[in-house]
């Protein structure tokens, strides 16, 4: 019966979370050489109707099967005999199925891999080529200028493509610089072009902790390659105010001072930053931690501490951003000193 206060009709809750609905390729091959491992190896995620990874329950351990087929316009029949070291069917772990040592025995163009699992919609890779056996396979490395940086500063990512002696020139080869937060989902951050020495570099300003790798799709004269991943940790930035610096203000007992710390990065898609405040007192000639408080920041990334100094003496306050799942802690701010009389 209609009810104007409680409402009426059929309750719609939407799709249940954490129930398998489909598959997603978190990582997929971009090329290969006949008889050699595809580059990179496939990684498949089990996702729910909202596109979130299914990490728990029976659906998180579904067996995922990999098969091969050509696409319209590809050359010839699909190469028979796809093999993987751990088999072409792998049980997912926490919603992730990782395949290793996957090889196609013959050369072909326009090949796709299809991942399937019972009760879910399949996922298909983009088309890629498999070069004939004997095509030289290059070495590919990636180095970062720093392993830890502070937010808003840059890191230089240098790629080196090494072609075997007698092989084709590396000049003009297109190399993808890819990023991942978790070594599962990879996305393209930039496309670089190698010079005559096989080198390429990019100054990148990441907002969060990320893994990086370089990927070469290869071609008919040079095989595909992928570098080992390297990680760069991004520290948050924390700016404490009032920031008296070397000045030590003199305040009366019972005075309340409002300390604010502005933290970056602070964006809607990132975890809300938290600030840790430490209050020290000078006792018998040594600084003693009197209190520590953790304060949640507002939408602008600002956390506030109102501190009442009830005891005469020398004091100082410091602040730092605490770690989040995506960023490291900041360094402690310089101390704000105050003399209470």
CATH of the domain at 331: 2.60.40.1930
Residue 47 lies in a domain: yes
In contact, 204 and 227? CB cutoff 8 Å:
no
pLDDT at 9: 56
Query: CB count, 10 Å around CB of 112?
Result: 18
Answer yes or no: do 271 and 190 share one domain: no
- pLDDT tens over the chain, length 341 residues: 555 555 555 544 444 557 999 999 999 999 999 999 999 999 999 999 999 999 999 999 999 999 998 655 555 555 668 999 999 999 999 999 999 999 999 998 899 999 999 999 999 999 999 999 999 999 999 999 999 999 999 999 999 999 999 899 999 999 999 999 999 999 999 999 999 999 999 999 999 999 999 999 999 999 999 999 999 999 999 999 998 888 899 999 999 999 999 999 999 999 999 999 999 999 999 999 999 999 999 999 999 999 999 999 999 999 999 999 999 999 999 999 999 99
DSSP 58: G
Answer yes or no: do 162 and 119 share one domain: no
pLDDT at 13: 45
Answer yes or no: do 257 and 269 share one domain: yes
Q: Which residue has the tokens 């030590």?
A: 248
Answer yes or no: do 254 and 325 share one domain: yes
pLDDT at 298: 96
pLDDT at 245: 82
When computed from its CA atoms, the radius of gyration of the chain, rounded to whole angstroms, is 28
Please report, to the nearest 10 degrees, the dihedral formed by the alpha carbons of residues 287, 288, 290, 295 taken in order: 70
Given 111, 133, 155, the domain boundary residue is 133
pLDDT at 14: 47
Answer yes or no: do 228 and 262 share one domain: no
Answer yes or no: do 185 and 208 share one domain: yes
Residue 318 lies in a domain: yes
Which of 323, 329, 333, 239 lies closest to 280 in space, CA to CA? 333
Residue 271 lies in a domain: yes
Please state, in angstroms and rounded to a whole number, the distance separating the CA atoms of residues 139 and 202: 19
- CB-based burial label for 241 (10 Å; 0-12, 13-18, 19+): middle
Number of domains in the chain: 3
Answer yes or no: do 18 and 123 share one domain: yes
pLDDT at 79: 61
Answer yes or no: do 60 and 159 share one domain: no
Q: What is the CATH number of the domain that holds 46?
A: 2.60.40.10
Answer yes or no: do 241 and 231 share one domain: no
Structure tokens at 63: 């067996």
Residue 1 lies in a domain: no
Answer yes or no: do 128 and 199 share one domain: no
Given 133, 167, 183, the domain boundary residue is 133
Answer yes or no: do 242 and 307 share one domain: yes
Answer yes or no: do 45 and 154 share one domain: no
Domain that holds residue 165: 135-235
∠ CA 121-123-124, rounded to 5°: 140
């Amino acid at each position: 019966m209609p009810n104007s206060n409680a409402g009426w009709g059929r309750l719609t809750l939407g799709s249940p979370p954490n129930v398998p609905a489909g598959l997603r390729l978190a990582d997929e091959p971009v090329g290969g050489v006949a008889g050699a491992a595809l580059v990179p190896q496939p990684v498949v995620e089990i996702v729910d109707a909202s596109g979130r990874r299914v990490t728990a329950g029976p659906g998180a351990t579904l067996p995922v099967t990999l098969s091969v087929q050509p696409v319209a316009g590809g050359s010839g029949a699909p190469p028979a005999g796809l093999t993987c070291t751990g088999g072409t069917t792998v049980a997912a772990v926490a919603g992730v199925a990782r395949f290793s040592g996957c090889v196609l025995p013959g050369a072909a163009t326009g090949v796709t891999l299809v991942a399937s699992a019972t009760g879910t919609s399949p996922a298909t890779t983009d088309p890629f080529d498999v070069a004939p056996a004997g095509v030289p396979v290059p070495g590919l490395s990636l180095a970062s200028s720093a392993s830890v940086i502070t937010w808003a500063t840059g890191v230089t990512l240098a790629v080196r493509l090494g072609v075997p002696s007698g092989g084709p020139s590396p000049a003009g080869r297109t190399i993808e610089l890819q990023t991942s937060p978790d070594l599962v989902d990879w996305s393209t951050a930039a496309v670089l072009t190698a010079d005559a020495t096989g080198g390429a570099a990019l100054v990148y300003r990441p907002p969060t902790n990320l893994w990086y790798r370089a990927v070469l799709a290869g071609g008919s004269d040079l095989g595909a390659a992928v570098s080992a991943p390297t990680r760069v940790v991004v520290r948050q930035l924390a700016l404490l105010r009032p920031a008296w610096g070397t000045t030590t203000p003199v305040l009366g007992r019972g005075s309340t001072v409002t300390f604010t710390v502005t933290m970056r990065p602070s964006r809607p898609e990132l975890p809300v930053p938290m600030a840790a405040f430490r209050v020290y007192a000078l006792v018998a000639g040594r600084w003693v931690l009197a209190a520590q408080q953790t304060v949640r920041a507002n939408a602008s990334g600002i956390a506030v501490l109102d501190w009442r100094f009830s005891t005469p003496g020398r004091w100082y306050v410091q602040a730092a951003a605490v770690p989040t799942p995506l960023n490291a802690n900041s360094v402690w701010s310089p101390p704000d000193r105050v003399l209470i009389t």
